Amino acid sequence: MRVLVTGGAGFVGSHAVVALMEAGHEPVVIDNLSNAHPSVVRRIGEITGTAPEFHERDVRDREAMAEIVSGGFDACIHFAALKAVGESVERPMLYYENNMSAGRSRFSTSSPSSASRTSCSALRRRYMEMRRRRCGRTCPSV
Ligand SMILES: NC(=O)c1ccc[n+]([C@@H]2O[C@H](COP(=O)([O-])OP(=O)(O)OC[C@H]3O[C@@H](n4cnc5c(N)ncnc54)[C@H](O)[C@@H]3O)[C@@H](O)[C@H]2O)c1
């Protein structure tokens, strides 16, 4: 399967990319390298024998995402997120914008077939739990 892996240069994403390649799939990595080193993609190539297709892009960039997903995907695994708990409390809007808007942007440009096989990281759930605790039961859902 051709699999879009957002945040594929990060900690979990890079391991997922290696596992996908070793299982015979074709991952395509999107990462803005805000929390990853460019050498990760080269290292994946050294481990698996082939460097994955890599796009240094931000998932909030709708135009770039539309162009990339126009290539067609069978599935998507969404790891691109900010995850520092302390920073998320200090800068909640940054986290909301990056982690929630980014997902919406990606989903809106995704094909119906890839959207039906989409896996998201746990951050949204954690963020929503934190938000509920801070806002109480009246907090509107997004
Ligand atoms: N590390 C864990 O043990 C663990 C466990 C469960 C869930 N998760 C969740 O999995 C996700 C990834 O975690 P991780 O530990 O690999 O984090 P990470 O920071 O190592 O990887 C995230 C990657 O996403 C990229 N990124 C962030 N915002 C982006 C954007 N707007 N556009 C493109 N790329 C962007 C970063 O550069 C980074 O490479 C997070 O949502 C995290 O909460 C992690």
Distance 82 CA to ligand 1 centre (A): 6
Distance 83 CA to ligand 1 centre (A): 6
Domains and CATH numbers, the chain: 2-135 (3.40.50.720)
What is the average pLDDT across 35-64?
Answer: 95
pLDDT for res 99? 87
Highest averaged pLDDT of the listed ranges 19-28, 79-88, 93-102, 132-141: 19-28
Distance 123 CA to ligand 1 centre (A): 9
pLDDT at residue 39 greater than cutoff 80 = yes
pLDDT for res 134? 61
Distance 35 CA to ligand 1 centre (A): 8
pLDDT for res 142? 41
What average pLDDT does the chain have? 83
What is the average pLDDT across 77-96?
Answer: 93
**DSSP at 51:** P
Highest averaged pLDDT of the listed ranges 3-7, 113-117, 126-130: 3-7
Name the residue of 28, 35, 85, 101 whose CB sits within 8 Å of the most ligand 1 atoms, as the mutation to test its pocket: 35
Name the residue of 4, 14, 17, 32 whose CB sits within 8 Å of the most ligand 1 atoms, as the mutation to test its pocket: 32
Nearest residue by C-alpha to atom 5 in ligand 1: 122
14-23, 62-71, 73-82, 118-127: segment of lowest average pLDDT: 118-127
pLDDT for res 102? 60
Rounded Cα distance between 59 and 31, Å, is: 8
H helix or E strand, kind and range, residue 100: none
119: β partners: 77
Going by pLDDT thresholds of 50, 70 and 90, the confidence category of residue 122 is very low
Distances (CA, A) of 76 to 56, 84, 93, 96: 17, 23, 25, 21
